Amino acid sequence: MSELQAYLSEGQALDTLIKSEGLSAQINKLREWQCRRLLTSHQNLYAQKQFAPAMDFFTKELYGPNDFSQRDKDIEKALPLMESALSDRTLETFGIALQLNTLSYRLDLE
């Protein structure tokens, strides 16, 4: 198992735990609150054209109160091709994103 696959699998396992423990609604409320807080606290950045798309991407595609299980399945399916086709630098950045995703799951569960 590659390092990227390990990060992805850990995030998927935490997502499964959240669902099996019946915590999805609570976690989604927390994530919704966190996203609102982020956008409110950094409203000055969000109002700037160059930062708004990144903040939207974070709150809607990476962290927000959504079910990301299909996204993660799609990544899992594409990962072998990604690892053979993408540069080491790109894969390193992607690995950091997967690590942050897993860390977010862990912190949300605390």
pLDDT digit string (tens) for 1-18?
799 999 999 999 999 999
Domain ranges of the chain: 3-109
Whether the per-residue pLDDT at 95 is higher than 90: the answer is yes
**pLDDT interval class at 62 (50, 70, 90):** confident
How high does pLDDT run on average in the chain? 95
Check the CA dihedral 48-103-2-8 and report its sign: negative
pLDDT tens-digit map of 20-51 = 999 999 999 999 999 999 999 999 999 999 99
Which CA distances in Å does 64 have to 26, 33, 35, 88, 108?
13, 9, 6, 28, 12
Write out pLDDT tens, residues 43-57.
999 999 999 999 999
3 state SS of 49:
coil
pLDDT the model gives residue 1:
77
What is the pTM for the complete model shown? Answer: 0.83
